[in-house]
Each structure stands twice: as structure tokens, then as C-alpha cells.
């Protein structure tokens, strides 16, 4: 670890490992640093992705635990809307195995991997990044020409590197349970429990179900209330993993580039504002980062100006979806349980969901236009301005 690397990637999550694999395979000397060791991985993530992610990443079949072409959406008052697509819309991944495979892919491409190190300092000295951290109680350091920050949410390293971390957050809670009678994905509006909250049950085979809640705060206690509901209480058999929560960035970060450094994935807020899903957007941004950084390294121009192409590219591809998702989310925040129920009744009555899915125009990863224009048709008052504050949480 004492040599000079072209790139140090902090974080071997899905975004960091993918960017490392791309940079290493284009001939760059890459070091990946992560505080977690591969055998200990137990990611707090449901692992649902659209088919384009599976194809783009070239994932093996054994990573896909389930394929979904239908789901049932429940209003807080119990009304149901079952949506069925003629094609597979989403896949549920073995999330821990995904992360291990992506780490292995990075190493096979030539990247070096140091696990069990928590990086605490990033300093720029003599045109290089000096990164230091602690592994097994000992302080270690490494030098690199450039750095990719892929360490998820957490402002410290971003601020040290001169980047702007995400400022607003949701909280996602997750656990795996043994449950009866969950045959397909079920999505529940929890707007009766907390404004803007929703929950999900995602079966992954043999009565194993991934349970999650996304909310502005208190996601763990909301999950308990969600599972205590009459429709769930009798189906729960046992918990297979602990119930834990972590922040989910809301809205892309405004500065993801500085001299010799870029941020990607959750560290850059590249997450869908509606569902909190970040695997696909993080991977798209990782490709842009690897491409722009690779060229900058080859030309020996790591200035913020040269790297700005990365920010322009990912924003061009993702920012409309992220911002439109914020509008949908704000509209949802303002809805009473009765209003959510009215919309689900309206959608069931008009058959709109079926028509959209049948038309082939729906995209799991770019669904905000469908939701946005569907909502405007259902409840035109949403177009009117409101002074109602949204409960978004600032860092």
C-alpha cells in the first residue's frame, strides 16, 4: 500500500467496485479501500432493480433470486390496485453476493482491495491525495493521483475533499422475515402513520420476504407498526435478520467534482427520489466517472475543470428523473390517507396502470413521468402551489 496509485476508491459498495473494475480494465492502477470485509457483508438493501441494471452489469443468473412482473399496491384504507405487466419489470438480487461479485470483478480486472480499513482523512499534498485510516488498530496511509468517493452517505470525507455531500435524507429500514402468503411484491402507502412514508414486502423464495419502510424519520418503529397491522400480523413467522435503518439521500449533490476527486453513488445523491433505489443510478454514474477520470489521468489533467465533464454527464442523464421524483414525493407528502385511497380507486377504475404497462412505455428506472402525469390527471389540484411545508430532513 505504500506505492503511488492512479486512483484510490473509498468504498467497495456497488458503485465503488464497479468504477474500480472499469478503471482497472482500462489499464489504471487502482486501490479500493473499504471498512467492511467481504464475508461480513449484510447490506441494508432490498436489492430490487430494473432489468436494464442486470443487463448492463452482465449479472449471472444465480444473483437473481426472483423476477417480478406484477405487484399489488395498498392504500392506507385497505383498497388494492393490482398491476400486471406482460413482461418482467424488476429483479430481486442476492444483495450480499452482488457486492462480493463486484469486488471480485474489480480484483480480476487488476484493482487491489484493502478491506477492514476505515478511511478518516483525505488531504491533498504536493498534487497527490494522501489518505489515512485505521486497520486492525494500526494507522495506515496511501497516496493516489486521484480519488473516487464511493463511501455512501456521510459528510466528513466529502467535505475534506472539497465536495458537497447530499443535504437532505430519507430513512430506510430493512429486515428479512419468514412470512406466509406473500406471493408477489406488495407496496403499502403508510401515509396514515407518517406523511410521505411507504412500506413493502418482497418475496425472495421459500417464504423468505424482504420487509422495508422508507420515511422521513423513525423508519424502524414504522416498520414495527406496519408488521403489527392485521393483514401482516398473522402472516409473520419469524425474523431472519435484525431490523435496521440507514439514511437514503434525497436529491443529487450539487458539487460532485473537485481537483482530483469525484463522488459517485449515494455519496453523490444518485438515488431515485420516489423509491430510494440507488443501484442503477449509481452504476450509470460510475461509468461516467471511470470514463472521465480515465481520460483525465491519461492526459495528466486532473483539474476540477477537466473532471467537470463527469458532473455534466451524470446530471444530464439523471437529474430530471431525480427532480421530477421530488415533485411526485412532495405531492405524496401532502396527501391525506383518504386522498391516497381516492387515487388508487381512480387508477383501478380507469385501468390506467394496465394500459401504461401494456403499452411498453413504462420504465422501472424512469417511472416519474408516468407517476407525475398520472397524478396530475387524477388530482389536478396538485398543480396548484401550496404553502404546506414538506417534512424533508436537512443534514
Ligand X SMILES: Cc1cc2nc3c(=O)[nH]c(=O)nc-3n(C[C@H](O)[C@H](O)[C@H](O)COP(=O)(O)OP(=O)(O)OC[C@H]3O[C@@H](n4cnc5c(N)ncnc54)[C@H](O)[C@@H]3O)c2cc1C
65 near ligand X (CB under 6 A): no
Q: Which one of residues 73, 109, 146, 152 is an interface residue with ligand X (CB under 6 A)?
A: 152
- For residue 380 the three cell numbers come to 389536478
CB-based contact 251:322 (threshold 8 Å): yes
Question: Toward ligand X, which CB reaches closer, 93 or 356?
Answer: 93
Q: How many CB atoms lie within 10 A of CB 110?
A: 16
Q: Is residue 15 within the footprint of ligand X (CB under 6 A)? A: yes
Closest by CA position to 33, among listed 160, 126, 144, 123 = 144
Residue 190 C-beta: closest distance to ligand X, Å: 14
For residue 324, what are the CA distances in angstroms to 180, 329, 364? 36, 9, 15
Q: Is 325 in the site for ligand X (CB under 6 A)?
A: no
The residue from 9, 12, 111, 243 that contacts ligand X (CB under 6 A) is 12
By beta-carbon proximity to ligand X, the closer residue of 251 and 278 is: 278
Question: By CB under 6 A, is residue 177 in contact with ligand X?
Answer: no
Measured between alpha carbons, how far is 49 from 174 in angstroms, rounded to an integer?
A: 16
Query: Cβ 157 to ligand X, closest distance in Å?
Result: 6
Among 32, 81, 227, 271, binds ligand X (CB under 6 A): 271
Taking CB under 6 A as the binding criterion, the range among 7-15, 222-230, 235-243, 340-348 that sits at the site for ligand X is 7-15
Which H/E stretch holds residue 260? Answer: none
- In whole angstroms, what is the distance from residue 357 CA to residue 278 CA? 22
Describe the crossing of helices 279-299 and 304-333 by its angle, rounded to 10 degrees: 170
Task: Report how far residue 204's alpha carbon sits from residue 239's, in angstroms, rounded to the nearest whole number.
Answer: 14
Among the listed ranges 9-17, 54-62, 228-236, 323-331, the one in contact with ligand X (CB under 6 A) is: 9-17
Closer Cβ to ligand X, 100 or 358, answer by number: 100
- Span from 141-149, 276-284, 290-298, 341-349 in contact with ligand X (CB under 6 A): 276-284
Check residue 75 and give left, alpha or beta (phi > 0: left; psi -120 to 50: alpha): beta
Residue 175 contacts residue 239 (beta carbons within 8 Å): yes
Asked if 13 is part of the footprint of ligand X (rule: CB under 6 A), the reply reads yes
In the region spanning residues 80 to 109, those forming contacts with ligand X, defined by CB under 6 A, are none
- Cβ-contact 102, 38 below 8 angstroms: no
Span of 41-49, 252-260, 289-297, 306-314 interacting with ligand X by CB under 6 A: 41-49
Q: Which is nearer to ligand X, 252 or 265 (by Cβ)?
A: 265
279 binds ligand X (CB under 6 A): yes
User: Measuring CA to CA, which residue among 210, 34, 200 is closest to residue 133?
Assistant: 34
Per-residue contact flags (x/-) with ligand X for residues 282 to 311, judged by CB under 6 A: x-----------------------------
Binding of ligand X by 276 (CB under 6 A): yes
- Which one of 12-20, 306-314, 352-360, 370-378 is the stretch in contact with ligand X (CB under 6 A)? 12-20
Residue 36 touching ligand X (CB under 6 A): yes
Tell me the window of 47-55, 327-335, 336-344, 353-361 that interacts with ligand X (CB under 6 A).
Answer: 47-55
Instruction: Give the DSSP letter of residue 139.
Output: E
Exactly one of 21, 47, 89, 326 binds ligand X (CB under 6 A); which one?
47
Cell numbers 486521484 label which residue? 146
Q: What is the rounded CA–CA span in Å between residue 197 and residue 190?
A: 5
When asked if residue 59 is in the footprint of ligand X (CB under 6 A), the reply is: no
**Binding window for ligand X (CB under 6 A); candidates: 55-63, 272-280, 295-303, 324-332:** 272-280
Query: 134, 118 in Cβ contact below 8 A?
Result: yes
**Is residue 118 part of the contact set for ligand X (CB under 6 A)?**
yes
248 binds ligand X (CB under 6 A): yes
Give yes or no for residue 150 binding ligand X (CB under 6 A): yes
Number of H helices, E strands in the chain: 11, 20
Cα(137)–Cα(115) distance, integer angstroms: 13
Strand partners, 113: 32
Provide the grid cell at 137: 488498530
Residues that bind ligand X (CB under 6 A): 10-16, 33-36, 44-49, 118-119, 133, 150-152, 154, 172-174, 212, 246, 248, 265-267, 271, 276-280, 282
Amino acid at each position: 500500500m505504500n506505492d503511488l496509485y492512479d486512483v484510490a476508491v473509498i468504498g467497495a459498495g456497488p458503485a465503488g467496485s464497479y468504477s474500480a473494475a472499469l478503471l482497472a480494465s482500462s489499464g489504471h492502477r487502482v486501490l479500493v479501500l473499504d471498512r467492511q470485509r467481504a464475508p461480513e457483508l449484510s447490506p441494508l438493501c432490498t436489492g430490487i432493480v430494473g432489468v436494464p441494471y442486470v443487463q448492463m452489469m452482465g449479472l449471472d443468473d444465480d444473483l437473481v433470486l426472483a423476477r417480478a412482473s406484477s405487484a399489488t399496491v395498498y392504500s392506507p384504507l385497505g383498497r388494492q390496485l393490482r398491476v400486471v405487466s406482460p413482461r418482467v419489470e424488476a429483479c430481486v438480487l442476492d444483495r450480499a453476493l452482488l457486492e462480493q461479485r463486484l469486488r471480485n470483478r474489480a480484483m480480476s480486472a487488476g484493482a487491489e482491495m484493502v478491506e477492514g480499513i476505515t478511511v478518516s482523512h483525505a488531504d491533498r499534498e504536493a498534487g497527490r491525495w494522501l489518505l489515512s485510516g485505521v486497520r486492525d488498530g494500526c494507522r495506515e496511509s496511501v497516496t493516489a493521483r486521484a480519488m473516487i468517493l464511493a463511501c455512501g452517505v456521510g459528510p466528513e470525507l466529502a467535505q475534506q475533499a472539497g465536495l458537497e455531500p447530499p443535504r437532505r435524507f430519507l430513512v430506510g429500514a430493512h429486515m428479512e422475515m419468514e412470512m406466509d402468503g406473500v406471493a408477489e411484491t406488495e407496496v403499502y402507502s403508510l401515509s396514515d402513520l407518517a406523511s410521505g412514508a411507504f412500506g413493502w414486502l418482497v418475496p425472495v423464495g421459500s417464504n423468505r420476504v424482504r420487509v422495508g419502510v422508507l420515511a422521513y424519520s423513525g423508519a424502524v418503529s414504522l416498520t414495527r407498526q406496519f408488521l403489527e397491522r392485521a393483514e401482516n400480523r398473522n402472516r409473520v413467522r419469524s425474523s431472519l435478520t435484525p431490523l435496521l435503518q440507514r439514511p437514503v439521500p434525497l436529491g443529487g449533490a450539487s458539487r460532485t467534482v473537485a481537483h482530483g476527486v469525484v463522488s459517485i453513488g449515494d455519496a453523490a445523491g444518485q438515488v431515485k427520489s420516489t423509491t430510494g433505489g440507488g443501484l442503477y443510478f449509481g452504476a450509470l454514474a460510475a461509468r461516467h466517472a471511470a470514463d472521465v477520470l480515465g481520460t483525465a489521468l491519461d492526459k495528466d489533467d486532473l483539474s476540477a475543470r477537466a473532471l467537470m465533464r463527469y458532473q455534466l454527464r451524470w446530471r444530464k442523464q439523471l437529474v430530471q428523473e431525480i427532480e421530477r421524483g421530488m415533485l411526485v414525493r412532495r405531492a405524496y407528502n401532502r396527501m391525506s390517507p383518504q386522498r391516497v385511497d381516492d387515487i388508487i380507486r381512480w387508477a383501478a377504475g380507469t385501468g390506467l396502470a394496465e394500459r401504461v404497462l401494456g403499452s411498453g412505455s413504462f420504465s422501472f428506472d424512469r417511472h416519474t413521468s408516468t407517476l407525475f402525469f398520472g397524478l396530475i390527471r387524477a388530482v389536478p389540484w396538485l398543480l396548484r402551489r401550496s404553502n404546506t411545508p414538506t417534512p424533508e430532513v436537512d443534514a
